[in-house]
């Protein structure tokens, strides 16, 4: 500023030769001052202008896609919905439509349009505010990537300088490619690929002229010209784009007329699948700690999972159909019986369902509840519930490991236990209701002395019964009989080896499924039996690939042989009987070998069925979140859960070959009398071909008087 003052002082000190000379000096001085001020202002404006060299390294926030086992998109993780495509995969109609509408001199100018800038400035002056307009594709790209979305003169100057630099450093094809992958199309969608998915449910290369024109038309204001909210405006914009393309000789009049007849999309195509929400959240919780939020939401990862949508979708639909019916049935039942509201759940009936691949542990389907939006609690993986009688196979496996065979006679008779302060102990000699009553009479009313008298659902006692038949009929007293003789600690050990992760209480009631377990644990443990005694951990992610195609992680199977193939087969063969003749007979409608087990927990708070083929293990659970008992007294796992489990599996298994569980070496089959467990005679009313580990088969013939 001192220089300016000195300059004007010098001019004032000049001899007054002529007015013209003084005027020239003053104009020159003013021009110098203006140039200095403009230079200082431009220096300040351009001081923080970014380098266009970074455009080579520019990586926008990319969408991470989640795929099922058949490479179908299940879901996406994103901040901005975006995918990057090379220009060669973007239809020429899309390129021409954008050029015709946004920048028809794109291949002629050097980054900016002086006429456009002047027109925009004039519009600003007329409206006394900053207005959009006059921007080339290069200018739009520069402000979209490098500049803040503010409307100021300073930003416009930066935009011009950046555009000039971009044009001098990149080819027109590179600029157009960046623009088409960067531009915003509304609904959080960026780039033509994601826009094609959103508006038309297809990939960009599959788009026709009408669709290309529609996308180009909504660029200036995606929300205002959206075909979903303003179909008339969208149709008009498409017409204007086609008209400009015709004027630029990109299309013919006939092509324009045909494209203009095409319908406008009425609703968004599902870029996201509306299915498997609980599964998607399940894998997000696994991957986010490993890769971080930014990588997961912006890194453009490809996550390939074990899920099979062809199993998942029907499972969701069928489960919901049945639970809606059960909700209605229970409501009518309460009305008819006039039951008080104290015992009625305030929530809706919930369900969970899991399918695992027996050989690998891959999760093929997972339902964590009825509506993810209403409740994000995943009942398949997080809900620890009583397993009820579905826990009994662990007791039966313990029996097999202790020398029992499917033909061993066990006792289904009354019994009673007392608690001595440290452990539950069987009251010796109390083998019928009369003797039990006498034994516990002295302790009635004594709060320090606890008595437990277990019973069966039907309140009946079958006496001596084979190990097989006790499992088929799900006899509680027989299960407790086995636990008492084997020891609850061994049952806990077997359950853990099979795949149960939770702590289990080693008490006699463990045989009734009083410990808490999750559905996925139970299905995983049953899979161990179906897999010949080899346990594989459930898993959900096959591999993760970054946006450059590099494999970041890949599933490596881990197997652990926990039981012999022979004992596993014996248990499976008995569990097949549950479906053929026992509590799970409803599943026999599938007309294929199924090994399974029903379950109902104490006070009917939980209903279960878990069933297996040689390839798949599937478990279904039903109950209330608040642990309320299911309202209808005759509801059991076999009568409620099993029907929708069966309908789901009927769909899932429809295209799969019918296979039976193969008997391993060391297994022999012998025809026995199913009542006595001894070798059958021609006079026996019923005969059963039973499996045994070689050397354990019965050698005594039936001596019963049939």
Q: Higher confidence at residue 432 or residue 279?
A: 279
- pLDDT mean across residues, the chain: 84
Q: Per-residue pLDDT for 222 more than 70?
A: yes
Q: Higher confidence at residue 174 or residue 35?
A: 174
Average pLDDT over residues 525-533: 98
CATH architecture of 363-652: 3-Layer(aba) Sandwich (3.40)
Catalytic entry in 102, 316, 472, 675: 102
Query: How many percent of the chain have pLDDT more than 70?
Result: 75
Max CA distance (Å), the chain = 149
Q: Per-residue pLDDT for 316 more than 60?
A: yes
CATH architecture of 80-261: Orthogonal Bundle (1.10)
Q: Which of 17-26, 230-239, 473-482, 591-600 has the lowest mean pLDDT?
A: 17-26
Give pLDDT, residue 42: 46
Give pLDDT, residue 636: 66
Distance separating alpha carbons of residues 349 and 323, to the nearest angstrom:
7
Distance separating alpha carbons of residues 272 and 198, to the nearest angstrom:
9
Give pLDDT, residue 603: 84
What is the DSSP pairing of strand 64-67 with strand 302-305?
parallel
pLDDT in tens, 225-272: 999 999 999 999 999 999 999 999 999 999 999 999 999 998 876 544
Give pLDDT, residue 130: 43
For 610-627, b where at least 16 C-beta lie within 10 A, e where not — what string?
Answer: bbbbbebbbbbbbbbbee
Report the Cα 338 to chain-centroid distance in Å: 41
Distance separating alpha carbons of residues 474 and 637, to the nearest angstrom:
11
Q: Which of 20-34, 120-134, 342-356 has the lowest mean pLDDT?
A: 120-134
Q: Per-residue pLDDT for 4 more than 60?
A: no
Q: Per-residue pLDDT for 521 more than 50?
A: yes
Q: Higher confidence at residue 115 or residue 645?
A: 645
Q: How far is CA 428 from CA 431, 432, 434, 439, 464, in A?
A: 8, 11, 13, 9, 18
Give pLDDT, residue 102: 86
DSSP E strands: which ranges in 306-389? 350-357, 363-367, 385-386
Catalytic entry in 113, 277, 310, 389: 389
CB 301 within 8 A of CB 547: yes
List, in order, residues 6 or more apart from 470 with CB less than 8 Å away: 410, 412, 478, 479
Give pLDDT, residue 58: 55
Q: Per-residue pLDDT for 503 more than 90?
A: yes
- Among 10-14, 37-41, 46-50, 349-353, the range with the most confident prediction by mean pLDDT is 349-353
How many degrees, rounded to 5, is the angle at CA 667 between CA 664 and CA 672? 140
Average pLDDT over residues 195-222: 92
pLDDT in tens, 139-153: 777 766 554 445 555
Q: Which of 40-44, 133-137, 304-308, 573-577 has the lowest mean pLDDT?
A: 40-44
Confidence bin at 581 (pLDDT 50/70/90): very high
Structural element, H or E, at residue 66? strand 64-67
pLDDT in tens, 509-520: 899 999 999 999
Average pLDDT over residues 18-28: 61
Give pLDDT, residue 300: 86
Give pLDDT, residue 149: 47
Report the Cα 206 to chain-centroid distance in Å: 28
Give pLDDT, residue 46: 46
389 an active-site residue?
yes
């Amino acid at each position: 500023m001192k220089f300016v003052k000195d300059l004007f002082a010098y001019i004032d000190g000049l001899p007054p030769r002529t007015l013209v000379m003084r005027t020239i000096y003053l104009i020159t001085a003013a021009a110098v001052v203006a140039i200095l001020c403009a230079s200082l202002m431009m220096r300040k404006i351009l001081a923080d202008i970014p380098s266009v060299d970074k455009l080579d390294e520019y990586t926008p926030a990319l969408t991470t896609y989640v795929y099922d086992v058949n490479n179908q998109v299940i879901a996406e993780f994103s901040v901005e919905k975006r995918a990057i495509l090379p220009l060669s995969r973007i239809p020429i109609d899309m390129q021409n439509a954008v050029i015709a509408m946004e920048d028809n001199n794109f291949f002629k100018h050097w980054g900016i349009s002086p006429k456009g800038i002047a027109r925009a400035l004039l519009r600003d002056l007329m409206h006394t505010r900053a207005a959009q307009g006059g921007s080339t594709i290069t200018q739009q790209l520069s402000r979209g990537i490098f500049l803040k979305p503010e409307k100021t003169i300073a930003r416009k100057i930066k935009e011009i300088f950046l555009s000039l630099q971009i044009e001098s450093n990149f080819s027109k094809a590179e600029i157009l490619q960046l623009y088409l992958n960067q531009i915003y199309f509304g609904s959080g969608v960026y780039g033509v690929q994601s826009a094609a998915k959103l508006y038309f449910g297809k990939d960009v290369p599959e788009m026709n002229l009408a669709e290309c024109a529609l996308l180009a038309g909504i660029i200036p204001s995606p929300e205002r010209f959206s075909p979903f909210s303003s179909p008339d405006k969208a149709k008009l914009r498409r017409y204007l784009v086609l008209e400009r393309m015709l004027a630029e000789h990109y299309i013919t009049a006939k092509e324009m007329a045909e494209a203009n007849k095409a319908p406008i999309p009425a609703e968004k195509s599902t870029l996201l699948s509306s299915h498997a929400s609980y599964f998607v959240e399940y894998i997000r919780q696994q991957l986010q700690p490993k890769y971080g939020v930014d990588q997961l939401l912006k890194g453009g990862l490809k996550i390939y999972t074990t899920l099979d949508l062809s199993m998942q979708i029907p499972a969701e639909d069928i489960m919901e159909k049945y639970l809606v019916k059960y909700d209605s049935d229970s409501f009518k039942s309460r009305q008819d019986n006039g039951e008080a509201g104290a015992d009625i759940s305030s929530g809706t009936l919930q369900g969970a369902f899991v399918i695992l691949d027996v050989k690998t542990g891959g999760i093929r389907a997972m339902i964590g509840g009825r509506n993810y939006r209403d409740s994000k609690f995943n009942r398949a993986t997080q809900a620890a519930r009583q397993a009820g009688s579905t826990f009994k196979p662990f007791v039966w496996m313990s029996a097999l490991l202790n020398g029992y065979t499917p033909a061993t006679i066990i006792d289904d008779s009354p019994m009673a236990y007392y608690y001595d302060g440290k452990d539950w102990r069987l009251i010796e000699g109390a083998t019928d209701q009369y003797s039990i009553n006498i034994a516990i009479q002295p302790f009635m009313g004594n709060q320090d002395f606890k008595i437990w008298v277990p019973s069966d659902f039907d309140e009946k006692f079958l006496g001596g019964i084979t190990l097989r038949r006790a499992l088929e009929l799900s006899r509680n007293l027989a299960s407790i009989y086995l636990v008492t003789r084997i020891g609850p600690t061994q049952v806990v050990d077997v359950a853990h080896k099979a795949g149960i992760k939770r702590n289990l209480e080693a008490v006699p009631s463990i045989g009734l499924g009083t410990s808490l377990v999750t559905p996925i644990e139970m299905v995983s443990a049953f899979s161990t039996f179906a897999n010949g005694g080899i346990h594989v951990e459930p898993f959900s992610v096959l591999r993760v690939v970054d946006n450059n195609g590099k494999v970041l992680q890949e599933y490596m199977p881990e197997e652990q042989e926990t039981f012999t193939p022979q004992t596993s087969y014996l248990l499976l063969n008995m569990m097949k009987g549950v479906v053929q003749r026992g509590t799970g007979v409803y599943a026999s409608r599938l007309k294929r070998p199924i090994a399974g087990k029903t379950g109902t927990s104490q006070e009917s708070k939980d209903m279960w069925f878990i069933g297996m083929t040689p390839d798949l293990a599937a478990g279904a659970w039903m109950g209330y979140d608040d642990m309320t008992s299911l309202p209808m007294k005759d509801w059991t796992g076999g009568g409620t859960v099993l029907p929708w489990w069966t309908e789901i599996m009927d769909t899932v298994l429809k295209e799969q070959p019918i296979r039976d569980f193969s008997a391993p070496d060391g297994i022999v089959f012998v025809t026995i009398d199913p009542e006595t467990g001894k070798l059958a005679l021609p006079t026996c009313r019923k005969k059963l071909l039973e499996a045994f580990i070689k050397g354990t088969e019965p050698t005594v013939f039936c001596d019963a008087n049939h």
